[in-house]
Amino acid sequence: MDKTDRPVSPEEEVRLSALFETLIPPLEDEGFSAIVTRRIRRRVWLRRVVLGTAVFIGGVLAFGPLFELSVQISGLSILLAEGLVSLATSWNDPGWLAQNGMVLILALLAVSSPGAIRLLER
Amino acid sequence: MPVERRDEELVARAIATGSPADYDVLIRRYQSDVRNWLRHLTGDPSRADDLAQETFIRAWERLHTISDGKRFKAWLMKIAYNMFLQSSRRQGREARLADALGREQLAAEDHVTPSQDAGVADLPRMLAILKEDERVTMVLCYAYGMSHREIAELTETPLGTVKSHIRRGAARIRERFNLGNPAHG
């Protein structure tokens, strides 16, 4: 039987393990772990500072447009409410569509927004 | 006496809290194995320790990706191996060639006859006669006690190939050394 085909016998397994284990003598820590932990803590701290700064700067930059957007939304909300009232009182009037197009657009946006948000998240 | 927490507990706590405190225990637990592994791969203790530091930092950054905390050690050893490969690629073929030449010279100096019992002193020559893949596989198997499947995952080698490396590596050693008598080492 060719030696290359012979599986390693249990006795050889034990012998090889005993020999090869001498390759990995226990190494004293000698400050290695402390150095690594310090580097990791520094990264964690740095990441928090960077993220916090980014959020702050982003908030500052977005404040103006966000404020304007909130004003617009509140205006649209009032418009939507008036439109809904109008719709409720004149839904059987054929001309209501032309008069209440904004209501339809907003209704479509409200229906499609969850899906749009999910798409963006993906 | 404080209870030694298991790897999976420490990993879960480290992920949950985001604090390095629990991870520090894992570093201390496996720093010897990782450094030894990299010393064996690189042949340079200083470079090995640098790579070992990067290994633990990379593992920290990817801790949330580990699927089974019980296999933390094998996962860590794989990261160490990948760090070594990346470093070797950066250093170029020169470093690997120098290492190979050194091993070839050592293998050529082998004068042990098969009748002599293999001892610890013969280990460098034993490693020198092995091919690189066989050496890596046998070290992981017999020094670190990793299973064939773990070695296959670490080295991204088919399981059958791992078993073949071990069989052939053992055969090479068997041809030149006597593994039968555990009198030495």
Joined together, the tokens standing for residue A71 give 């004003």
> Do B1 and B87 share a domain, yes or no?
yes
Contacts with B28 from chain A: Cβ below 8 Å: 29, 33
Chain B nearest C-alpha distance from A7 (Å):
6
Identify which of B31, B40, B166 has the shortest CB distance to residue A32.
B31
β-sheet bridge partners, residue B158: none
| pLDDT number for residue B151 | 94
- Give me the percent of chain B exceeding a pLDDT of 90: 54
From A28, which residue of chain B is nearest by alpha-carbon distance?
A: B32
Locus of tokens 């120098």: B98
Residue of A nearest to B45 (CA): A27
pLDDT at B116: 54
Chain B contacts in chain A segment 13-52 (CB below 8 A): 13-27, 29, 32-33, 35-37, 39-41, 43-44
Q: In the listed set B33, B61, B91, which residue is the last one of a domain according to the structure?
A: B91
Q: Give the mean pLDDT of chain B.
A: 83
pLDDT in tens, B149-176: 999 999 999 999 999 999 999 999 988 8
Helix crossing, B20-42 with B72-91: angle to 10°?
50
pLDDT at B158: 96
Bridge partners, residue A106, by sequence:
none
The CATH number of whichever domain residue B4 belongs to comes to 1.10.1740.10
Specify the range with the lowest mean pLDDT, choosing from A12-26, A53-67, A81-95, B13-27.
Answer: A81-95
The values of phi and psi at residue B155, to 5°, are: -95, 0
Q: Specify the higher pLDDT residue, B66 or A88.
A: B66
Which regions of B23-166 does DSSP assign to beta strands (E)? none
Tell me, yes or no, whether B137 and B174 share the same domain. Answer: yes
pLDDT in tens, B78-105: 999 999 999 988 877 555 544 554 555 5
Residues B102, B113 share a domain: yes
- Measure in Å the smallest separation between the Cα of A117 and chain B Cα atoms: 26
Each domain of chain A, given as residue ranges in start order, spans 30-121
Scanning B107-166 for CB atoms below 8 A from A yields 118-120, 123, 126, 138-139, 141-145, 166
Reported ipTM: 0.74
Q: Which of A15-24, A31-40, B101-110 has the lowest mean pLDDT?
A: B101-110
Pick from A21, A34, A23, A41: which is nearest to B28 by CA?
A: A34
Q: Which of A8, A16, A37 sits opposite B27 (nearest CB)?
A: A37
Q: Which of B91, B118, B146 is the last residue of a domain?
A: B91
Residue span of the structural domain in which B62 resides: 1-91
Global pTM reads 0.68
Instruction: Give yes or no: residues B80 and B117 share one domain.
Output: no
CATH number at residue B143: 1.10.10.10
Q: Which of B91, B110, B130 is the last residue of a domain?
A: B91
| Cα dist from A11 to A2, A7, B162, B185, whole Å | 19, 11, 20, 15
A93 lies within 8 A of chain B by CB: no
Token output for B51: 């790579």
Ranking A9-18, A88-97, B37-46 by mean pLDDT, the lowest is A88-97
For the residues B131-143, what does the mean pLDDT come to?
91
The per-residue pLDDT for A95 is 62
pLDDT higher than 50, residue B185: no
Per-residue pLDDT at B114 exceeds 90? no
